[in-house]
Copies of this chain bind each other. A is one copy, B any other.
Amino acid sequence: MNAKNAEIVSIGTELLQGVLVDTNGLFLAEVLHGIGIEVSYRTAVGDDRQRIHQVLRQALDRAAVVVVIGGLGPTEDDRTRDALGDVSGRPLILHGETLERIEERFARRGVPIPELVKRQAWIPEGFVVLPNRHGTAPGLLWEDGQRLLVALPGPPREMRPLFTEQVLPVLLERVGSGQQIQTRTLKVCGLFEAQVEERISDLLHTDHPPIGLLAHPGEVHVRMTVSGTQEEVQIQLEEWEKKLRDRLGDAVFGVDEERLEEAVGHLLRLQGKTVAVAESCTGGLIVHRITNVPGSSDYFERGIVSYSNHAKEDLLQVPSPLIERHGAVSPEVAVAMAAGVRSLARTDLGVGVTGIAGPGGGTEAKPVGLTYIALADAQGEEWCEHRFQYDREGNKLWGSQMTLEMLRRYLLKIRVVA
């Protein structure tokens, strides 16, 4: 049987009202993808017997594995059991073992069994019952020729063990031994999505492995998916990572979960360098990100959020005539902030960031988003200018991103100012 194609169907009106995140669907998508089953569709539908029936009919027409989650509860609006009966053409029958299990469960808790709960023991004839250790609704499994239909209760603490312990082994058997799917993500900073695509376009047009691009604020993720035996997967991942790195070079700052602030922290630690930060428009975000990394106190000495001119003069020794002459948002002040914080903190490096986060405070000459970032070391200072076009929090985020990237390029001895 070819079980390489699946559809996830989530049942519940809450999912259609934006009240509940479908974490079950997310979990299943990840696990199925991981074992080499391609999820082609995810569908959410409300607690409506006819609509559930139609969606299941369609799913069984286009997928070899259909996993339905939710709608197996005891109340009137739980219609999945009925719809399973409809789509399979099987009548619901009372399943004695399941009824006993439910009764025992209530007896152990010393609670009288509500009549409604017994509905959960009615299942479509011929379905395999998957006992639920964490709740009253059992999972259900049905094979119809080439296709496999699985129904699981909605509460994640019931669904997950049921799936992992009782459904996953069946699926693994179908997929066949050996085959795996693995992904690896290279994270890129300093290039736009379209620039990344231009550089790797020849690799994108081959089919193996599929490579996907995803843009995030100030970074692009290049994700490759490979399949094969465990050994093949490892070889392919290495090989393709090398090809991508050849084209993307130092723009790649990390792999998979690694964040830009971790990459910077790693380089600082490796080179035994310390840093201090003076920021105004980014308002503490640069330092917040640096200090999110465990052990950052080894290389991070202090952060100054100098929102007022007084703070800039007082804490960073930025001369007040300099601010008057060039304005607080100027290359000169960014440089003075970087040099000032470095000298006072006695660190190897100093960072200075000044800009206009918005929404207020912009002028024609100095619009919202204008940001100067400076870096100081024992030899001197360099600076760069950015013109971000986001809202306040977006401008802060981009400002922090470009600052960390400037630090990274400095530490890698890549030309900092473009």
CB distance from A104 to the nearest CB of B (A): 11
Known: A16-B42, A387-B108. A114 touches B304 (CB 8 A): no
Q: Are B307 and A291 in contact (CB under 8 A)?
A: yes
Tell yes or no: A45 within 8 A of B by CB: yes
Q: Are B283 and A114 in contact (CB under 8 A)?
A: no
Chain A residues 106-124 with CB under 8 Å of chain B are: 108-111, 114-117
Tell yes or no: A176 within 8 A of B by CB: no
Q: Are A27 and B33 in contact (CB under 8 A)?
A: no
A83-91, A166-174, A191-199, A404-412: which lies at the B interface?
A191-199
- Which one of B41, B75, B301, B396 contacts A311 once the chains associate, using CB atoms below 8 Å? B301
Tell yes or no: A308 within 8 A of B by CB: yes
Known: A74-B197, A284-B291. A33 touches B16 (CB 8 A): yes
Name the B residues within 8 Å of A265 (CB-CB): none
CB distance from A99 to the nearest CB of B (A): 14
Instruction: Please report the C-alpha to C-alpha distance between residue A124 and residue B268 in the assembled complex, in whole angstroms.
Output: 50
CB distance from A74 to the nearest CB of B (A): 5
Instruction: Please report the C-alpha to C-alpha distance between residue A266 and residue B304 in the assembled complex, in whole angstroms.
Output: 24
Tell which of A18, A73, A394 has the most Cβ of chain B within 10 Å: A18
Chain A residues 357-396 with CB under 8 Å of chain B are: 357-360, 387, 389-394, 396
Q: Are B33 and A213 in contact (CB under 8 A)?
A: no
A144-152, A239-247, A292-300: which lies at the B interface?
A292-300
Q: Are A29 and B16 in contact (CB under 8 A)?
A: yes
- Which one of B27, B195, B286 contacts A18 once the chains associate, using CB atoms below 8 Å? B27
- Which one of B13, B155, B198, B284 contacts A288 once the chains associate, using CB atoms below 8 Å? B284
- Which one of B21, B43, B117, B390 contacts A43 once the chains associate, using CB atoms below 8 Å? B43
Tell yes or no: A31 within 8 A of B by CB: yes
Name the B residues within 8 Å of A110 (CB-CB): 387
Name the B residues within 8 Å of A55 (CB-CB): 41
Instruction: Please report the C-alpha to C-alpha distance between residue A198 and residue B117 in the assembled complex, in whole angstroms.
Output: 11
Q: Are A212 and B13 in contact (CB under 8 A)?
A: yes
Name the B residues within 8 Å of A43 (CB-CB): 41-44
Q: Are B77 and A212 in contact (CB under 8 A)?
A: yes
Known: A17-B30, A157-B391, A394-B157. A73 touches B212 (CB 8 A): no
Range for the number of chain A residues in contact with chain B = 35 or more
Tell yes or no: A234 within 8 A of B by CB: no
Tell yes or no: A310 within 8 A of B by CB: yes
Name the B residues within 8 Å of A350 (CB-CB): none
- Which one of B44, B117, B315 contacts A315 once the chains associate, using CB atoms below 8 Å? B315
Instruction: Please report the C-alpha to C-alpha distance between residue A279 and residue B21 in the assembled complex, in whole angstroms.
Output: 32
Name the B residues within 8 Å of A109 (CB-CB): 387, 389
Tell yes or no: A76 within 8 A of B by CB: yes
Instruction: Please report the C-alpha to C-alpha distance between residue A33 and residue B223 in the assembled complex, in whole angstroms.
Output: 35
Closest chain B residue to A347 by CB distance?
B308
Name the B residues within 8 Å of A23 (CB-CB): 21
Q: Are A204 and B315 in contact (CB under 8 A)?
A: no
Instruction: Please report the C-alpha to C-alpha distance between residue A144 and residue B225 in the assembled complex, in whole angstroms.
Output: 39
Chain A residues 157-185 with CB under 8 Å of chain B are: 157, 183
Q: Are A18 and B22 in contact (CB under 8 A)?
A: no
CB distance from A212 to the nearest CB of B (A): 6
Tell yes or no: A285 within 8 A of B by CB: yes
Tell yes or no: A19 within 8 A of B by CB: yes
Question: What 1/0 flags go to A26-69 for Cβ under 8 Å of B?
Answer: 11111111000011111111110001000100000000000000
Write 26 A-B pairs (CB below 8 A) sorted by A numbering: A14-B214, A16-B39, A17-B30, A19-B30, A19-B223, A21-B23, A21-B26, A41-B44, A43-B44, A75-B194, A76-B197, A77-B204, A114-B195, A115-B198, A116-B198, A117-B194, A277-B305, A283-B292, A284-B290, A284-B305, A292-B393, A294-B359, A300-B307, A302-B306, A304-B315, A310-B346
Q: Which 9 A-B pairs have the closest CB atoms?
A: A18-B30, A283-B291, A284-B287, A114-B194, A303-B305, A18-B29, A302-B311, A284-B284, A284-B288
